[in-house]
Every structure is written in C-alpha cells, then in structure tokens.
Amino acid sequence: MNNTNERITDKLNSFFYPKSIAIIGASRRPGSVGHSLLANLIDSRFQGILYPVNPKATGILGIKSYPTVTDIPDMVDLAVIIVPSHAVPTVLEECGKMHINGAIVISAGFKEIGGEGIELEKKAQQVIQEYDISLVGPNCLGVINTDPRSSMNATFGTQMSKEGNISFVSQSGALCVTVLDYAIESNIGFSKFISMGNKAGLTENELLLYLKNDPKTDVILMYLEDLANGREFMKIARETTSNLSHPKPIIALKAGRTLLGAKAASSHTGSLAGSDKVYDAIFSQCGVLRGETLEEIFDYVKGFSSQPLPKGKNVAIITNSGGPGILATDSCIRHGLNIASFSPGTAKSLKKILPPTVSLNNPLDLIAEAQHEQYEATLREILKDKNVHSSIVIVTPTTFTKVEKIADSIVKTAKKFQKPVLCCLLGVYDVSGGIEILEENGIPSYRFPESAARVLSEMTQFTWWLSRPQTGIKKYRVNKAKAEEIIDSVKKEGRHFLLEHESYEVLQAYRFPVIKSFFAKNEGQAVEAAQKIGFPVVLKITSPDILHKFDYGGVKLNLKNKTEVRKAFHEIIETILVKKPDANIRGMIVEEMAPQGKEIILGMNRDPQFGPILMFGMGGIYVEALEDVTFRLAPIRELTAKMMIAKTKTYKILEGFRGEPAYDVEAIAECLKKLSQLVTDFEDIKELDLNPLIVFEKGRGCSIVDARIILGSI
C-alpha cells in the first residue's frame, strides 16, 4: 500500500471505526433526526462510547449529555452534526479545536438551496481545511459500518443493514433509504454504506480509494450525479477493478448531466459528445459496469457479490419448461454469450440419469415432471464439463414441482464447483420458499431468465477485463515545434480556428496521412497545383470568415482539367461574394480527388472537466443522423484504439461485409493514437474533426480529406 492509500485509510477509519462519537444535536424528542440517529447508534450496538450533545438536556436515552462538544472531557474520534445550518461552521470549529478528525454533517440548508446556503457551505469548507477535518456531507443520511468491530448505524434511516461484502456510496440520501430497504427485503448485506450529500469535504474519489483497500469490501455500488474530479476517479477506479490480487467490481448508476451537452458545439464531435456517451466512455476505460436502472444494479450486485467469475463465455441452461429456456438462450446470445456444447462424456452421463423423452441438447429441458433428484444430478454433470463455464437454472412451478427441494439441491451442488450458478424461479408466491433458500445460501435468483443472462454476460465481461492484454500508450516521433508554430500564428492573428491548409500542416507534423494538396492564392497557382497533383482534383475556399465551406458553395469536386479548375475557381468566388460579401478570401485549397473507400470520422471535443474526448464513427454527411460513434478519453492505450473501432456497427462493414473487401482498420487505429497524442500535447485545441477520413482496403492505409481544428478562447 503506498503513502496516499495509507493516509486515506488512516483518515477514514475515523468514520468507519471510531472509538467514540459525539452526536451534536442529539434530541429527547421522538421522531426527530437527533433522536433517531442516537437511537440507531444504540440499537446497532455500536462498539464505542457515545456522547450526546444538547445544551438543554442532561441525559438522552439513558446516556449522559453535554452542553457543547467542548465540554466532553475525553478524546472524540467522530462528530455527527445535526444542528441548524447557520450553526454548522461554528460547531465544526469547536470540533477542530477539540482535535476531532472526522465529521458527518447531516444538516441540510447549504448549496442545495442556493443563495446563503452556498456561502455557509464555503465557510464550512474553510473550517475543515484549517483544522484538517475529514467531512462527509452536509445534507446527507449518514454512514453505516456493519463490521462487528464497529457495528455503527450513524444514520437517521429506519433500518440497519445486515453484514455483507458490498459497499454503497451515494449522492442521494433518499436513494440510500430505498436501497437499504430493498436490500433487507432481498437478503443483501452491506459492509459500508455512505451517503455523501453535497460532497463539501470527502468525495467519491477518497471514498473509492478507501474501499479499494478495505478487506471487508468485495463489490462497490455507487449512485453518482456528477464526479468531483473525473480524471482522478478514472485512475482510482481502474486500479480498483484491475487489482489482480483482489479485483473489485464497481457498479455505477449515473444520473444527471454535465456541461458537456449544455452548449451547441460548432463541430460534429462537439454536438455528439453528450454527457451520457462520455460517461459510458469513462466507465468503459476503467472497468466500471454502468447500470441503467435500480433494478439492474441490484441484479448485478447479487451476481457479483455471491458467485465466482466465469472463466469463459460458455453457458449451460437447465429448465423444466421449454419456453423460458428459449428466452434464456436468446438473451444469452444477444448479450454475447455462447450456448455450450456438452462433451461426449457429459452427454453419456446425462443419458443415464434422465428419461429417454429428454433431449440432451443445450438448453436442457428436463420437462415438467422433473424432481429435485434430476436437477441435482443434471447440474452436477454439467458443471463437471470443462466446456461449461457457467449455468442458468430455471424452475417453473407445476403440480409436480417441489421448489424448496430443488432449491436445496441447487445449493448443495453449486457449492462443490467454482463456477457461477444463477437461478430463475419463475413466479412469486409459489416459488418464494425456494428463493429464500437460494438467497440465504448465496445463490442469486432472478425473476426473469433475461435478467440472469444479462448478469452472466457482465460477469463474463469482467473476466475479460481482468485478462485483457496490457498495452501502453504509444508515443510517435513528431514535429511538435512545427505544429506549435502554426497554432501560435493563428492565435496571434486573433482567430479561433485554423484554415484548412493550416490544419493539414499541423496534422502532417504529427505524421497523419493527409491527402495530397496545395494552397493556391490565385487562379494561376490553382492550375499549377492541379497539374502537380494530377487530375481529377478538388477546390475548396479558404477564408477565416467561413468555417462550413459547403454551406456557402465553397467546394467543387472532380475537376478533370485546367479549364474546369479555372471555371470552378471563379464560380466559387462569385458564389461566396453573393452569400457572404464581406468574407476575407485568402485563396483555395487544391487537393487530390480521393480514391474510393469508406468514409469515417475521427474527432475530439475538450470537456472542461475531463479534458480531451476522442470520437470514432461512421463519417460523411450522415454522422449526426446515425450516431454510430464511440468516445474515449485521451490519452488512449493501443488496445483502447482498437476497441473504439470494434464497438461500432461500422466495424462490421470495415471487416468485410457481404462480399466486400476488408478495410484497413489498423491504419484507423494508428490515426486514433496520433490524434490522442496531438490533443494531449496541445490544450489550446478545443475541437477537432477529421471528416471524412477515407479508409482503403486492408494494407492500403487511409487518407484525411477534410480537417477542422478549433481553438479555445483566446
């Protein structure tokens, strides 16, 4: 454990393992927050000393009370503060003078209400910085630690969680109450349970770093509305999910939006980089599983917290009803799993133990009359098969079915193998006893087979994440000084975007494959350039007043000779003078008419919080209509570049579709890595589009035929 990890662990132990707690604002009034919180600490059998603080009471719930925190004669590790918001900064200062290192501020009335609340929160932050107090809140539910060494329920919720190996971090206190209630009903236990509130002190990053090293936590569940420091979150999350000695899945439910989608961007990349897609990219790059609903995240939690990870994609399905088995099969395939083929030995064993009416194919339909003996023997033989990596067991209640006995047999058999077994007991009332048996013994049961398949797919994906090739960030030998010189000259001129020939020069300095082109200031130079390039050629207007050339008639394609070049030159100028008479026309770009290939787009949008966000997808005029794009944060690793391409529907076309040739995917990946280096080197680049980049058949590379680089405010 490095110094940062040790420091965070030591600081946050005051929250999770305090030897003494001052409850400032404890109350004698039943139903109040101050009364409920103290009662919860008592009822949870907290393993330390409690010090209620109330200036009007000498004792509360049988415990001696103190007028102020400064009257407590002993050392206090943690303060739980439940006083009016205007008094919180003063109380925090008193805690600081008493050398109390940790505080949980339950009180509301801070930045969430705006106005004066914002100022109060700033004052509280100044105090905790001055006295080095670690703070959770304000405006939060509190903190729970079920470890018997602490047994602390420092919340005003109605229930205490059972002990488990899941830790939950949430920005919503109300959601905490909901999650806790549902977890108790579903027999799910937590290790740590933290309501962050306004995050005036500790954020998800410090808490995640603590949980990363917490031996009592195996799975981390998070509800997030924003990230305090996205780059830092990615670093910690990646370390947490990639630690091969104790990898911890992180399951996140992300709500709300960032500034990413707030402003209309002037490039395709900017308009497509909405916050949801960017958060998908963030989570993908650090191995975080993103759930779409509360139901989904609980489904995932049940699987990850109780079952071993599958070693491969091959799943076996056991059912006593054909329909649910087919639904499970369809869902498994849809989520990228394989329906396992049984080995000859397994088929031979199954033939001995099952009636002749049972087909020995996967999914294995034991028919309605199946009893617990058949389920047990079948599951045993299937899990013994090396071709099977996991199993979904489906039970439909019939007059023949003894659900509780089947559940017992599943538990008995599953415990003998290090392979995940997920169940689906269809129904509610008729299967409730069986579900209880399964969940009490750590076998997750899902209401529908599609849910089990989805969870198994994500568990398999996490296995891949842990075994993925470890690639680095490639650094190319580039002419950074040349690119810097061009960008500086544009800034000195007061422009916020590069002219196309300037963009091409920057890209060439970073070894991008740019289409052969020349900048021509007049008609004669345009004809001369066309002859050097060879016909046919393209003419494009160059003007600092025109960003979107096509919109102003500033492009002429497929010019086959000198006469057509001269004619096109004059037509473009005449059209521009009509549509934008005040335009400063610098000249024309003359470039080669690109050979046929597939049009794609590479782009970048610089987010104020996360930095440069790369984009890959189908290019040309349909890019925004189809939105077949992926995003990743730069800098990217070699594997990430390839995954960006593979995650799109366009990838199937690039690989060769319906007799078409395969295209040069490796060349696209090279461009993505060079783009990553360019936008990492130059923070001045706010947006960038390479659209289209034309990719040719495999081994023939690609070529940039249009480029747009936009700079930040100057």
Preceding omega of 692 cis (within 30 degrees of 0) = yes
In this prediction, residue 472 carries a pLDDT of 87
In this structure, of 195-204, 263-272, 336-345, 547-556, the range with the lowest mean pLDDT score is 263-272
**Residues 2-14, mean pLDDT to the nearest whole number:** 83
Largest CA distance in the chain: 101
**Residues 486-498, mean pLDDT to the nearest whole number:** 95
**Distance separating alpha carbons of residues 87 and 209, to the nearest angstrom:** 31
**Distance separating alpha carbons of residues 540 and 551, to the nearest angstrom:** 12
Q: Two tokens at 196?
A: 């962050």
Position 713 confidence tier, pLDDT thresholds 50, 70, 90: low
How does DSSP assign 52-99, residue by residue?
EE-TT-SEETTEE-BSSGGG--S--SEEEE-S-GGGHHHHHHHHHHTT
- CA angle in degrees (0–180, nearest 5) for 640-646-648: 115
**Residues 203-228, mean pLDDT to the nearest whole number:** 95
Residues 620-654 pLDDT 10s: 766 766 778 999 999 999 999 999 999 999 999 99
Q: Where is pLDDT greater, at 283 or 398?
A: 283
Neighbours of 6 (CB within 10 A): 11
For 546, the enclosing helix (H) or strand (E) is none
For 212, the enclosing helix (H) or strand (E) is helix 204-212
Residues 113-154 pLDDT 10s: 999 999 999 999 999 999 999 999 999 999 999 999 999 999
**Residues 207-218, mean pLDDT to the nearest whole number:** 97
Residues 228-255 pLDDT 10s: 888 999 999 999 999 999 999 999 998 8
Preceding omega of 138 cis (within 30 degrees of 0) = yes
**Distance separating alpha carbons of residues 53 and 60, to the nearest angstrom:** 9
Residues 342-391 pLDDT 10s: 999 999 999 999 988 888 999 999 988 889 999 999 999 999 999 999 99
296 Cβ contact list (under 8 Å, min separation 6): 253, 454
Q: Two tokens at 674?
A: 């060079």
Closest by CA to 616, choosing from 709, 689, 697, is 689
* 671 phi/psi in degrees, rounded to 5: -65, -40
**Residues 444-471, mean pLDDT to the nearest whole number:** 96
Closest by CA to 640, choosing from 630, 628, 650, 649, is 630
Domains (range + CATH), the chain? 3-217 (3.40.50.720), 308-467 (3.40.50.261), 516-592 (3.30.1490.20), 598-711 (3.30.470.20)
**Distance separating alpha carbons of residues 558 and 462, to the nearest angstrom:** 50
**Distance separating alpha carbons of residues 200 and 180, to the nearest angstrom:** 24
Average pLDDT score over the chain: 93
* 615 phi/psi in degrees, rounded to 5: -135, 140
Q: Two tokens at 529?
A: 């350039």
In this prediction, residue 265 carries a pLDDT of 33
Residue 520 pLDDT exceeds 50: yes
Residue 278 pLDDT exceeds 80: yes
Site of tokens 């559940």: 407
Position 340 confidence tier, pLDDT thresholds 50, 70, 90: very high
174 Cβ contact list (under 8 Å, min separation 6): none
Residue 585 pLDDT exceeds 90: yes
**Residues 490-498, mean pLDDT to the nearest whole number:** 94
β 629-633/289-291 pair status:
unpaired
